[in-house]
Structure 1
Amino acid sequence: MKSIPKIELHLHLEGGAPPAFIRGIAKEKGTDLSRIFREDGSYSYKDFWHFLKVYEAATSVLTTPEDYARLTRAVLEESAENGVVYSETFISPDFCGGGDVAAWREYLHAMEETAAKAEVELGITLRGIITCIRHFGPEKAKPIAECAAQTKGSFITGFGIAGDELIGKPKDYLWAFDCAREAGLRLTAHAGEWGGAESVRDAIRDLNVERIGHGVQAITDLALVDEIAEAGITLECCPGSNVFLGVFPTWREHPIETLRERGVKVTVSTDDPPFFHTTMSAEYDRLADTFGWDEEIFDEINANALAAAFCDEDTKDRVAKKLKKGT
């Protein structure tokens, strides 16, 4: 599956950090992060909420633009190795300068410069979606939206929200989303991973997003599923993540195929791949084994992703050519 060209729309930049990379940065800075790793070197956590704490602990050693340049390169190398030709990554100025626009610009420059070099050397295109962190609260989301609005461009093309879905309601973050919308950014929101079908309905109604991160718990409300299909809203599905964290007990019980059969535009992503012991190639392998997905269906999935991508038409044309070369 590595040789199939792929598009990934749902990837957290820090969540893509290989454990060895984070251990190396921690060692350079004299920081003891042994508590977040297992003996085999992988990340260690008990459940989703503990995962959020481990994620933030790992991110805590990434304190300079250079750190984020190195991180960007490490993540893109892994993605390219697994056939990804276009990726969108969630980035939060909360972790890159604390929401200060001037500091954020320095981090952004480092990441964008690295991504441009990787596009030439690795053949992978990267775009950034600035995300506020839900469990940091609505007030913290406002400067993050301002960072997004002031740095919108060819690289920063979207705005979203991630974090603990059980904290607050989507409408609490309306100011931030309105700010991003007025700046011309495309919108997505994490919902329906832990918050149930109603969280998906709330995000669509209150934030007026065109994509939903995960969204898979919508399956418990088939009327909502049909509404999503009719509205043409794209779901950024991450089945390996969902199964690993226990949102669904097995791959066979994951609803991605049922959603697809009901006309929903589903896509495939890894979410936080080293945390969940997955890659884009592994996701494709499991989908083929579990649901019998073949080349035609994977072409459909990538077509969905390309149509929903938050990039300009020239970039889409270039990516489309890379997808065709792989057929």
Structure 2
Amino acid sequence: MKYKIPKIDLHCHLDGSIPPEVLCELAQSRNIKIPGGSLDGYKAYLKDTLNCKSLVEYLERFDFPIGILQDEEAIIKATCALIEMLDHQGLVYVELRFAPQQHTKNGLSQEEVLQAVLKAVNMLKDKCQIHVELILCMMNYTDASINMSANMETVNLAKQYLGEGVVLLDIAGAEGNNMMDFEPLFRHAKSIGLPYIIHAGEAGPALNVHQALKLGAKRIGHGVRSIEDLNVVQELVDTQVPIEVCISSNLNCFVFDEAVHHPIKTLQDKGVLITINTDNMMFSNTTLEQEYEILKSTFGYTDEDLIQFNKNSLMVAACDEEVKQKINHYFN
């Protein structure tokens, strides 16, 4: 562990960050075919992410872990493995996000999926330094009508467990140019006092960031394509709604072709509030420390800058003030 600073990740997908050793072990015990045929083959498959031809092909990498995480035991083991790995990496706080509806193919309800994740979190609460909160994701399949009912169930489930392990609602998936099609879901969330964040401005245009802000998002997942419209950048500056930057993931998903072309420094210089995150650790073959190395080698950021990025994350984290005060002690 090179960086001894307190590390915070606000944008970490559970099913995209599970250690491959654990996934392959779970797959073998469930007679599920492993991409590449073995653990080594799967690791090679993960390293081949850069050869994906599109975001859709990149998102297909979720099929394997999601296919495994369809029973309580698998969900608990995978979640425990991820939390222990993050704790070992020196993280003091993480908001893990996942879509409960993705794990109901073998009969679990969305609530049972959430309860399995919560069991894992609670099992490790006194064994690990890291503090874990959960974000429940709705799914964007480009056509809002496809899973409106399942998404509405996620909204109500997030509200039911708000403050009991869940801190936010989100929407993830194949972002298109249709953010306002999901307005009824966010309108309902707002009416019941459920805070939410929105994936926008990654695969979709700057317009989606504008719409996410209009819908009332507390944070923007990615948001980097706001650079395509300086009016949207100014909205981010004026509102100080933070963006969750995940550089390696942006490169893997073809948002930018090289790190040097990433707009993080330009956005920060214009006054946008930035946090640094991993997104999908296994699919992007990354960790927070590797993201820090990109920041330093490509943009000239310093260790003091890295500390400030983590302070930004703590400031906009969705946990309560008591937790924030506890974590803030790590910075002193």
Distance 2:257 2:58 in 1: 18
Structure 1 contact 268–301 (Cα < 8 Å) conserved: yes
Residue 106 of structure 1 deviates from its aligned partner by 2.8
Residue equivalent to 1:39: 41
Please list, as runs of the form range in 1=range in 2, the aligned pairs for 1:1-327 lying within 5 A after superposition: 1-34=2-35, 39=41, 41-42=43-44, 43=46, 46=52, 47-97=54-104, 103-135=109-141, 137-138=143-144, 139=148, 140-166=150-176, 169-205=178-214, 207-324=215-332
Q: 1:5 is matched by which residue type in structure 2?
A: P
* Residues in 1 aligned to 2:124 and 2:118: alpha-carbon distance in whole angstroms: 10
Q: CA RMSD in A?
A: 2.2
**TM-score if structure 1 supplies the norm length?**
0.91
- 8 Å CA contact retained: 2:36, 2:42: no
Q: Tell me the distance in 2 between the aligned counterparts of 1:123 and 1:40.
A: 30
- Aligned identity (percent) is 29
Q: Tell me the secondary structure at the aligned position of residue 225 of structure 1.
A: helix
1:79/1:280 contact within 8 Å kept:
no
Secondary structure of the residue aligned to 2:10 is: strand
CA distance in 1, matches of 2:174, 2:104: 22
* Kept after mapping to 2: 8 A contact 1:80/1:122: yes
Is the 1:244–1:276 Cα contact (8 Å) retained in structure 2?
Answer: yes
Q: Contact 2:34 / 2:42 at 8 angstroms: preserved in 1?
A: no
Q: Is the 8 A contact 2:35 2:41 kept in 1?
A: no
The number of residue pairs the alignment matches comes to 321
Given that 1:105 and 1:151 are in contact with CA atoms closer than 8 Å, whether structure 2 keeps it comes out as no
Deviation at 1:211, TM superposition (A): 0.6
User: Could you say if the C-alpha distance between residues 34 and 295 of structure 1 is closer, same or farther in structure 2, counting changes exceeding 3 Å?
Assistant: closer
**227-236 or 57-66: bigger deviation:** 57-66
Q: CA deviation at 1:238?
A: 0.2
The runs of 5 or more residues in structure 1 that have no matched partner are none
Note closer, same or farther for the CA distance 1:232–1:272 as it changes in structure 2 (3 Å cut).
same
Return the TM-score normalized by structure 2. 0.90
The one-letter amino acid paired with 1:6 is K
Residue segments in structure 2 that go unaligned for 5+ positions in a row: none
Task: Tell me how far apart the structure 1 counterparts of residues 318 and 99 of structure 2 sit (CA, whole Å).
Answer: 17
Instruction: Note the C-alpha offset of 1:137.
Output: 4.2
Deviation at 1:35, TM superposition (A): 5.5
Q: Equivalents in 2 of 1:36, 1:303: separation in Å?
A: 42
CA shift for structure 1 position 136: 7.0
